[in-house]
Chains A and B, each alone.
Chain A
Amino acid sequence: MTHTDSHTDVTTPLLQVSGLKVHFPLRPGLFGKPAAMVKAVDGVDFTVHRGETLGLVGESGCGKSTTGLAVLRMTPLTEGRIVFDGEDISHPDAATTKRLRRKMQMVYQDPFGALNPRMRVLDIIGEPLRVHRLTRTRAEYRERVMDLLDRVGLKAEMADRYPHEFSGGQRQRIGIARALAADPSLIICDEPVSALDVSIQAQVINLLEDLQRDLGLTYLFVAHDLAVVRHLCHRIVVMYLGRVVEVADRERLYQAPRHPYTQALLGAIPIADPDPEVQARFNPSVDGEVPSPIDPPPGCPFHPRCPHATDLCRREAPRPLDVEDGHSVACHLHDPSRAAEMNHSEPSYQEQARNIA
């Protein structure tokens, strides 16, 4: 189940997204132009390497799912370029789309809605096999589904049951098996564990890890739970209001977050340990809520909530810059050429970083 038919060698990234914008018309008008646009994704760049798990985190409505759907080419691009396996898929033709529908698969959040209640598990898991005609005989088809069931830790006799007979965790396993059926090289997981209880969540997290190890899968993992993301993702992209604010590997992101939003996000997560010492790290430093993506604030999108905001931030949006190798931040505080304009005495992010770490 390894992907042998790649176009290019294994050193090129599996997926490259640059300058991605997805805008939705607000209440599409019958005639002429819609009144306003929802800027769901407004300039996003990232890269997914083969065999890794890239986390996409941020608060509700920041454009995580939309980014995932854009990569899957299930939503039209407004702007930007997506390169998958060495091939530009920004404007795919029918044949390319068909191929993509096989090479990328999705796992959904809602274990109750993602499976057709009127189909047997056998037909749910096997649907990609049918759609792409990957098995020739009925026996081969059944055998393949049995393999998949086994892979995700379900019993063979469950194949003939209907989804409603399964618990949330089992349904999520069925969804994962379906995603594996067509032998994809990228799996987009949109909050696959957030609807599950803690004890079940751990089962699914372990399953995702095992599958990655055994099958060499690559995941784009969309989530809002930073503890789960820290556990599962090798590198993490933090989004805010349709943009990427910070990209780093997990060690660096959780030890020394640079962007004020990342710091705020990490500081706001209650830690499951009542020790006063541990609780001292809890530091919900931001007020207010995420503004509307219909009318995002000018300049840095985070400035209305940022404790370090200056006039420059209100005026001009920061560009993502590498602060270290593989760690990029979009904040004027970290742009040496803007140091003069960011006339803060001493950026307190370092203190905060230390607090959180």
Chain B
Amino acid sequence: MSLSIQTPAAAAPATPPRRRAHPKTLRFLRRLCKERPLGALGAMICLVLLLTGLFADVIAPEGFNAINPIERLKAPSAEHWLGTDQLGRDVFARIVHGAQLSVIVAFAATTLSIVISALLGILSGYFGGRLDMIIQRLVDGWMCFPDLILLIVAVAVLGPGTWQVILILGLLFGISGSRIIRGAVLSAKQNVYVHAAQSMGASSPRILLKHILPNVMAPLIVLYTTRLAAVILAESGLSFLGLGIPPPEPSWGGMLSLDGRSYMFQAPWLAIAPGIALTVAVFGINMFGDALRDLLDPRMRGGGGRYLARVKRTIGS
């Protein structure tokens, strides 16, 4: 979990075995539990989400698409933990398989968006000058169009489907997020130690990797977690409009907005179950993200009392 990546340049040919990696992860986990209990909870939720996605078929083997008209709109019971929907499908199975879909879409789209944000933001922020101007005008142009219009146009062109949703959400969030990363890069560039690295002749990749990226890491993590949550929500919005994942695939968003809305009063569990699943997932991701950001900053580690006091004092007074 270390951010200081060892450059191979000066490493000895016979690199000592990396025995340290394991204890480091353990130490990190211990700190997570001790210093950020909420973050640990978040991590657990993320883990559950991930595992549910991975082992959806094991957890709910009956299948999410088994239509059973006799069992329509049944309230939660021992047999159907979360009840059934208007086609008699088991809501629990659909939630579990929805997790799989959500996990795939959310992580893929968010990762894509973060890569785009980081690339554009760092190029624009670090190298500046004409490149910055061109990129920023393009971003401006892109952001002039309302998101919804872009989405509708994109789906109209590409057709609905899982990878289309990933692509379009990734692009959409990626471009708007590049502003935040650019800002973080610009402020990281102001650090005297960046000047010091430049003045001793360090190459741009080295400076970006060792001095800029760690500073951009915190906003990247925050961006990632908020975007992850936003993507899940956006995907449900798209599905609601019929532009997202086409039925009968069980996406949480689709469940919440289509079935959930239509049968809100007859069968409230149809809305409540995906609603809670979404909320818990978003909460968990955000908590874990916050904790990650704080723990990765060595200044937050013990022993730094005086430095922190000074920093706080200069900021505070």
- A residues in contact (CB < 8 Å) with B: 30, 72, 74, 97-98, 100-102, 104-106, 108, 110, 112-120, 123, 126-133, 135-139, 141, 162-167, 175, 178, 182
B12 touches A138 (CB 8 A): yes
A114 touches B199 (CB 8 A): no
In Å, the complex CA distance between A182 and B196 comes to 13
Residues of B within 8 A of A123 (CB): 4
In Å, the complex CA distance between A118 and B195 comes to 16
Closest CB in chain A relative to B196 CB, distance in Å: 6
**Cross-interface CB contact of B211 among A100, A116, A126, A165, cutoff 8 Å:** A116
In Å, the complex CA distance between A26 and B120 comes to 27
In Å, the complex CA distance between A165 and B195 comes to 22
Residues of A within 8 A of B12 (CB): 137-139
Residue B3 lies at the interface, judged by CB distance under 8 Å to chain A: yes
Residues of A within 8 A of B197 (CB): 116, 127, 131
**Cross-interface CB contact of A164 among B133, B196, B308, cutoff 8 Å:** B308
A116 touches B11 (CB 8 A): no
Residue B62 lies at the interface, judged by CB distance under 8 Å to chain A: no
A131 touches B299 (CB 8 A): no
A117 touches B306 (CB 8 A): no
Residues of B within 8 A of A116 (CB): 191, 193, 197, 210-211, 214
Provide 28 A-B residue pairs closer than 8 Å at the C-beta atoms, listed in order of the A residue.
A72-B199, A74-B198, A97-B201, A101-B201, A105-B199, A105-B200, A112-B307, A112-B310, A113-B192, A116-B210, A116-B211, A116-B214, A117-B297, A117-B298, A118-B298, A123-B4, A127-B197, A127-B200, A127-B202, A131-B206, A135-B10, A137-B12, A138-B10, A162-B301, A164-B308, A165-B303, A167-B306, A182-B200
Known A114-B192, A131-B201, A178-B196; judge A138-B311 contact (CB<8 A).
no
In Å, the complex CA distance between A127 and B210 comes to 10
Closest CB in chain B relative to A101 CB, distance in Å: 3
Residues of A within 8 A of B298 (CB): 117-118, 162, 164
B200 touches A164 (CB 8 A): no
Residues of A within 8 A of B306 (CB): 167
Closest CB in chain A relative to B165 CB, distance in Å: 36
Closest CB in chain B relative to A128 CB, distance in Å: 5
Closest CB in chain B relative to A179 CB, distance in Å: 8
B297 touches A130 (CB 8 A): no
B193 touches A141 (CB 8 A): no
Closest CB in chain A relative to B113 CB, distance in Å: 25
Give the residues from 1 to 37 in chain B that come closer than 8 angstroms, CB to CB, to chain A: 3-4, 7, 9-12, 16
User: Count of chain B residues with Cβ under 8 Å from any Cβ of A?
Assistant: 36
Known A116-B193, A123-B4; judge A165-B200 contact (CB<8 A).
no
Residue B304 lies at the interface, judged by CB distance under 8 Å to chain A: yes
Residues of B within 8 A of A130 (CB): 7, 9-10
Residues of A within 8 A of B310 (CB): 112
- B193's nearest neighbour on chain A, judged by CB, is A116
In Å, the complex CA distance between A132 and B199 comes to 12
In Å, the complex CA distance between A120 and B201 comes to 20
Which of A105, A115, A117, A126 has its CB near the most chain B CB atoms (within 10 A)?
A117
In Å, the complex CA distance between A126 and B311 comes to 26
Residues of A within 8 A of B196 (CB): 106, 108, 114, 175, 178
Closest CB in chain B relative to A68 CB, distance in Å: 10
Give the residues from 135 to 152 in chain B that come closer than 8 angstroms, CB to CB, to chain A: none
- B306's nearest neighbour on chain A, judged by CB, is A167
**Cross-interface CB contact of B201 among A102, A137, A166, A167, cutoff 8 Å:** A102
- A175's nearest neighbour on chain B, judged by CB, is B196
Residues of A within 8 A of B4 (CB): 118-120, 123
Closest CB in chain A relative to B295 CB, distance in Å: 13
A131 touches B202 (CB 8 A): yes
Give the residues from 93 to 112 in chain B that come closer than 8 angstroms, CB to CB, to chain A: none
A141 touches B10 (CB 8 A): yes
A129 touches B192 (CB 8 A): no
Q: B201-219: contact bitstring with A at CB < 8 Å (1 yes, 0 no)?
A: 1110010001100100000
Residues of A within 8 A of B193 (CB): 113-116
Known A72-B199, A162-B301, A165-B307; judge A118-B214 contact (CB<8 A).
yes
Residues of B within 8 A of A100 (CB): 201
In Å, the complex CA distance between A235 and B307 comes to 36
In Å, the complex CA distance between A104 and B11 comes to 25
A133 touches B201 (CB 8 A): no
In Å, the complex CA distance between A198 and B299 comes to 27
A164 touches B201 (CB 8 A): no
Give the residues from 285 to 309 in chain B that come closer than 8 angstroms, CB to CB, to chain A: 297-299, 301, 303-304, 306-308
Other A-B pairs beyond A116-B214, A162-B304, 6, CB < 8 Å: A74-B195, A108-B196, A113-B192, A116-B193, A116-B211, A164-B308
In Å, the complex CA distance between A97 and B202 comes to 11
Closest CB in chain A relative to B135 CB, distance in Å: 15
**Cross-interface CB contact of B10 among A129, A166, A178, cutoff 8 Å:** A129
3 closest A-B pairs by CB: A101-B201, A164-B307, A113-B192
Residues of A within 8 A of B311 (CB): 112
- B13's nearest neighbour on chain A, judged by CB, is A137
Residues of A within 8 A of B201 (CB): 97-98, 100-102, 128, 131-132
In Å, the complex CA distance between A110 and B196 comes to 12
Residues of A within 8 A of B200 (CB): 101-102, 105, 127-128, 131-132, 178, 182
